[in-house]
Amino acid sequence: MILSLENVSISSREKKIVDNVSLSIQKGEWYALVGQSGSGKSLLSQAIGQMLPPNLQVEGKILFKDEDLLSLSPKQIRTFRGQKLSYIFQDYQGSFTPFRTIGQHFEEYQKAHGIRDAKTRKIKSMDALESVGLDEALYKRYPFQLSGGQLQRVSIAMALLLSPDLLIADEITTALDSVSGHRILELLAKRQKETGCAILFITHDWRHVRRYATRLAVMKEGEIVESGGKHRILDHPQHDYTKQLIQAAPILGRGLPSGLKEVDTYESAYC
């Protein structure tokens, strides 16, 4: 067991936003958290790494293996993020400082996690870029000189740089076109197999759930209404809300985006 949430609730002064959520993620699996916008998916994922705004309070237990993440100090959780737990956000462009090169971002990230040797940092950065199909020339470029697909690849490279056990991917294809989004997820699936990390995949897209997830949970208005194996839920949903979501996805099961074939992998996607 990599991650276990036990009766987790998130509240503001006015109301309870996430109510009594429990779920568990196994080592190396791709776990999808599905629901419409505003269902509490992203807040729940942010609570795992203590990234919620200060006006929100968390109750319950968030166990990473046997360690309660809610008990960690701010300094401890900063060290924890990146080394054992890492994030890729929907707003990946906001993760980059416009006037720092890609190489400088890699440098600062590694320095923050105690990698002091400059040569080691450079080698790890180049290897990371290569692992996501990007040329080392991008190391000296600025974020605004890269396409959206390239920046998202850099985000994946940085998130997996220190070989975390769990990667949280929050709506990472929303800002991309369908072809680029498909290729990004194919790349992420490939890197997951190489690194063995587990993935908590926040999404509202059932096509991606069908293709990549092993298990999933469905959230509605801050509560988990259904959870279990992918095939059981997709083929035999029990909750009315789950049925409505699946029925409202008319292209579910129609295959890949137009123009793509199964043989189209990330190697050809320098988007």
Identify the pLDDT of residue 252. Answer: 53
Measure CA 96 to chain center: 17
Identify the pLDDT of residue 258. Answer: 44
User: What's the average model confidence in pLDDT over 226-244?
Assistant: 95
User: What's the average model confidence in pLDDT over 34-53?
Assistant: 94
Cβ pair 128, 136 in contact under 8 A: no
Torsion angle of the four alpha carbons 186, 191, 194, 195, in this order, in degrees rounded to the nearest 10: -140
Residue 216: how many other CB atoms lie within 10 Å: 25
| Residue the block writes with tokens 């070989």 | 163
CATH class, 3-84+165-248 region: alpha beta
- Whole-prediction pTM value? 0.89
User: What's the average model confidence in pLDDT over 107-113?
Assistant: 93
pLDDT in tens, 166-175: 999 999 988 7
SS3 call for 114: coil
- Domain-by-domain residue ranges, the chain? 3-84+165-248, 96-163
Kindly provide the residue ranges of all beta strands, DSSP E only, lying in 65-137, ordered along the sequence: 67-68, 85-88
| Rounded Cα gap, residues 32 and 201, in angstroms | 5
Q: Which residues of 136-159 are buried (b: 16+ CB within 10 A; e: fewer)?
A: eebbeebbeebebbbbbbbbbbbb
Mean of the per-residue pLDDT values of the chain: 89
Cβ pair 180, 149 in contact under 8 A: yes
User: What's the average model confidence in pLDDT over 227-234?
Assistant: 96
Relative to beta strand 223-229, strand 3-11 is unpaired
SS3 call for 16: strand
Phi, psi of 43 (to 5 degrees): -60, -40
